[in-house]
Copies of this chain bind each other. A is one copy, B any other.
């Protein structure tokens, strides 16, 4: 299930015997088109023929690579993974801010953001999509928790807090704006968000 994924874990053995550039190209076109359409028409509105037309590909080509609509969607969602990266420099507070700005920016405009409602809906119907989306969300949350943990260790953030809950409070407004209020969360608003949710500890030492 995770054997033919993109390289990234472990050393790259000769497990990929140059499978044919045509296959690679077709798969990329199809998955990309599927994501585009998923954002436009949603999970229930997606059709194989629509994907084929969007990708500029024959319908039979899709059925050569996937068993059906469900497998295609699952595979397409899987390709959506890595979008935010963990910022490196600066204080923990700065890194939290940078991470949230990445989230806010990609939430404002990205394939992922466009697909998010459809994915949430799909996760409610298909256990496979549920697993993928839950794992992805957990990873993102954990990135933030890790940053907050460092902040506590370095004394930038008051100790004794539930960091998981804190992370959800930080991401929450961005999510609420996108999914409930349907208005954008300006990345410039991340700074006041962090300032308000993450008050400095009693004895400031960084500044």
Residues of A participating in the B interface, judged by any CB pair closer than 8 Å: 41-45, 117-118, 120-121, 123-125, 130, 133-134, 137-138, 141, 161-162, 165-166, 168-173, 175-177, 179-183, 189, 192-193, 196-197, 199
Give the shortest distance, in Å, between A140 (CB) and chain B (any CB).
8
Instruction: From known contacts A118-B121, A172-B171, A181-B137, infer whether A196 and B166 are also in contact, taking CB-CB under 8 Å.
Output: yes
- State the CA gap A182–B170 with chains docked (Å): 18
Give the shortest distance, in Å, between A79 (CB) and chain B (any CB).
19
Give the shortest distance, in Å, between A137 (CB) and chain B (any CB).
4
Give the shortest distance, in Å, between A111 (CB) and chain B (any CB).
14
Q: When the two chains form their complex, are residues B182 and A123 in contact, meaning their CB atoms are under 8 A apart?
A: yes
Among candidates B118, B123, B169, residue contacting A173 with C-beta atoms closer than 8 Å:
B169
Give the shortest distance, in Å, between A180 (CB) and chain B (any CB).
4
Q: When the two chains form their complex, are residues B41 and A42 in contact, meaning their CB atoms are under 8 A apart?
A: no
Besides A41-B44, A168-B177, 5 more A-B contacts (Cβ < 8 Å) are: A117-B117, A134-B180, A134-B182, A162-B196, A169-B197
Residues of B within 8 A of A170 (CB): 169
- State the CA gap A171–B172 with chains docked (Å): 7
Residues of B within 8 A of A192 (CB): 162, 165
Among candidates B41, B130, B141, B172, residue contacting A175 with C-beta atoms closer than 8 Å:
B172
Among candidates B121, B133, B173, residue contacting A168 with C-beta atoms closer than 8 Å:
B173
Residues of B within 8 A of A182 (CB): 123, 130, 133-134, 137
Among candidates B169, B175, B180, B189, residue contacting A180 with C-beta atoms closer than 8 Å:
B175
Residues of B within 8 A of A193 (CB): 165, 169
Q: When the two chains form their complex, are residues B130 and A124 in contact, meaning their CB atoms are under 8 A apart?
A: no
Among candidates B138, B162, B172, residue contacting A172 with C-beta atoms closer than 8 Å:
B172
